[in-house]
Amino acid sequence: MESDPGFIAALEEAKKGYAEGGKGSATLHAEMSALENSGRLPASAYEGATMYTTLSPCDMCTGACILYKVKRVVVGENKNFMGGEEYLLNRGKEVVVLDNKECKELMEKFIKEKPELW
């Protein structure tokens, strides 16, 4: 699964966002950005989709995945933050946790270097 093009793209976007310093938004997380960047589509367009994320999704992003009927959420790591995985599972969504070393290291670096944002 770690060689899946969707996960590789999510990891590359996370690295790029970290290097650029983010967008300065408290709510534009990667999951929300992915939905936003896909354009104004009806919720049915996302039905059955897979959301790839480097970190377990927060409650806001979990809600967006449920609202838009995303079928599966692939999580790079959930050691630094345990988000809404249980809620996703309870709502019938598939959750795959990769426990990816690179994702853990990137998040640990972010927490250490930017604690004011965490």
Active site residues: 31
The string of DSSP codes covering 25-73 is -SS--HHHHHHHHT-S--GGGGTT-EEEEEE---HHHHHHHHHTT--EE
Residues 36, 41, 45, 47, CA torsion sign: positive
Q: Which of 60, 61, 59, 99 is nearest to 80 (CA)?
A: 99
CB 52 within 8 A of CB 71: no
User: Is residue 78 within a helix (H) or strand (E), and if so which, with residue range?
Assistant: none
